A and B are shown apart, each in its own frame.
Chain A
Amino acid sequence: MLKLNNIEVSYLNVVKVLHGISITVENGVVVALLGANGAGKTTTLKAISGLLRIEEGEINDGTIEWDGIRIDKKNAVDIGKLGIVQALEGRRVFEHLNAEENLLVGAFSRSNLKDVKADLNMVYSYFPRLESLKHNIAGYLSGGEQQMLVIGRAMMAAPRLMMLDEPSLGLAPMVVDQIYDIIKRFNMDRKTAILLVEQNVRVALNTAHYGYVMENGRVVLDGSADYLKGREDVKEFYMGISASGEKKSYKDVKHYKRRKRWL
C-alpha cells in the first residue's frame, strides 16, 4: 500500500508545486489522478518514483510510505527495486533499440532470467502486436505501438505498483480503448496496483476504482470512480457534460462561468 502524507514539493528550492498532497493507493486497486495541465499530477508521480531529484525537485515536507517503509528519501533505483515503476509521459522509448531490447531494459533490476523470459511472453500475450514487431527499431514504431511498448516495459519490472503518466496522450480513441482494456486486464490478472495520470477523464474513471482531482498542487476532490462520475463539477469541467446530462454544443455555450464548488 502506498501512502502519501501531506507532501510538499518545490523545484530548485524556489517554485513550489505541490502544497500538501495526501493520496492512498491500496494494493491491487486502480487509482486515477485527474486534473488540468500544471495541477501537479506528473510531479506527484515523480515524487513517488524518486525521479524528482534528477530534475532538481525536492520533497520539502511530508512522507511517502510504501508498505510501511519511508521511501521519500530513497533514490530512483532503490525505489524501482521495491516494486514501484513509472512509465513516463510522452512515449519515451529507447529509440535506437529494438522493441524486445526495450522490454528487456524494463526488467533490468531482476536477476531471475527464467522469470524475465516468462514475463516477456506475458507482455507479448497482452500486446500481440509487439511480438510481431520485436526486431523492429523502436524509434520507427507508430505512436500506439510505442505507448504499448512503454507500458510493456513497465510490466517487465514485475511491479507491485505501476504508475502510468497519460497513456492516452496523442492516440486515436480506438487505440486508447485498446490500451485501457489491457491495463484493466493486467490489473485483474496480476493484482498490480495502478496509479494513472490522465486528462481523458471519461476513460480514466471507467477504468479506475478510485480517483483524486488535483488543482494547483492540491487535491480538491476525491472519491470512488462512480461518485466522481456523478459529480456535477467533474462532469461540467472535465467531461464537458452539462447539468442536464447532454453533451454541450457550442451553439448554446453559457457566456458566464460556473463557479467551481470546491474552491
Chain B
Amino acid sequence: MDILIQNIITGVATGMVYALIALGFALIWKSSRVANLALGQLVLISSWFTYSMLVQFKFPFWLGMILTIAFAILLGWLIERLALRPLIGQPILSLIAITLGLAYFLEGFTAFIWPQGQGNLPKVFPQTSIQIGPAMIQQELLWAAVISLILFILLSVFFKYHRMGIAMRATADDQLAVQACAVPVNRVFSMSWIFACVVAAIGGVLISSIAAINYGLVETGFKSFSVVILGGMESFLGCIVAGPIIGLCETFGGSQFGSSIKEVIPFIIIVIVIMIKPFGLFGEERIERI
C-alpha cells in the first residue's frame, strides 16, 4: 500500500515536470501550428547555461536564474529571427524540418561548448523528504510540480484573456486575416518562441537540479511529445492532465516490468493515442461544417 501511494505521488510529480516542458511545445503550436522538435535540446542548452553561471562562474542563485531567463529570451528571439522568419509563408513541413535541423545544431553546439557531457547543478530545493500520509516524497519533486502548475495557470490566463494571447491564437487560425486586423505576426511568432524557450529553461533548471545535466534531457524532451500528443497539441490543460498520466504509466510500468521498459512506455502511449484519439484528450478538433 505504501509503495502504491509512493508510486502515485512520484509519478504525478515527475509527470508535472514533463507537462512543464510540454507547455513549451503547446505554446508554439498554439500560435503558429509549427511542431517544435528541438524541445529537448532547448532544455539541454539552457541547463548547461545555468550550469556555467552557477558552477563555473559561481554567481549567486538569483543572479544565475535571471541570466538564464535572459539567455532563454535571447535564444528564442534569435531562433525565430534567424531560422524561422525567413520561412514564413513556406509549407509547414519546411518549418518543422527546420526545427529538426535546429535540434541537431543545438545538440552539437552544446557538445562543443560544454564537452564534459555530464554536470550537476547545485541543489536548489531542500533535500529532505516529506511525509504525505504513509508515503515519503522528495521535496524537490513537489516544488517542481508546484512551479509547473503556476506556469500553467499564468499561461492559460494569458492566452484566454490577454489581447496578445487572443491575437496569438487567432494567428494560428488565419495568418492573413490577422494581419488585416493590424496584428504584427512577426511579433506573435517571436513572442511564442521566446515564451517557449523560457518555459524550457525553467523546466531544464528544475529537472537538472533534481537529477543531473546530460543527454538524457533530450530524451525528456521526447517524452514531453507523448504528453502533448496525449493531451492534444495546443491544449495547456491537456499538458497538465496528460503529464501526470504519462508520469504514472512510467513509474508503474517501471515497478511492474523493470526499468528498461519504463523508458519505452511514453512512446507506446503515443502510438496508441494516435490510433484511437488523434486530436488527444483536449485538443481542438478540425472544424468542418457540413
Contact = CB atoms under 8 A, between A and B. Distances in A.
B161 to A, nearest CB: 10
B166 A101 contact: yes
B182 A139 contact: no
A153 B181 contact: yes
A87 interface: yes
A227 interface: no
Nearest to B178: A105
Interface in B72-109: 89
Contact of A87 (B178, B179, B180): B180
A97 B284 CA distance: 11
Q: Chain A interface residue count: which class?
A: 20 to 34
Contacts of A108: 163, 167, 181-183
Given A87-B180, A92-B177, A105 B170 contact: yes
Contacts of B181: 80, 85, 105-106, 108-109, 153, 157
B176 A88 contact: yes
B57 to A, nearest CB: 41
Contacts of A95: 173-174, 287
B287 A96 contact: yes
B276 to A, nearest CB: 23
Nearest to B186: A77
Q: Give the residue among B167, B170, B174, B178 with the most A Cβ atoms within 10 A.
A: B170
A239 to B, nearest CB: 30
Contacts of B182: 76-77, 79-81, 85, 108-109, 157
Given A94-B169, A97-B170, A108-B167, 13 more contacts: A55-B176, A76-B179, A76-B182, A79-B182, A88-B180, A92-B176, A96-B169, A97-B169, A104-B163, A105-B167, A105-B178, A106-B181, A108-B182
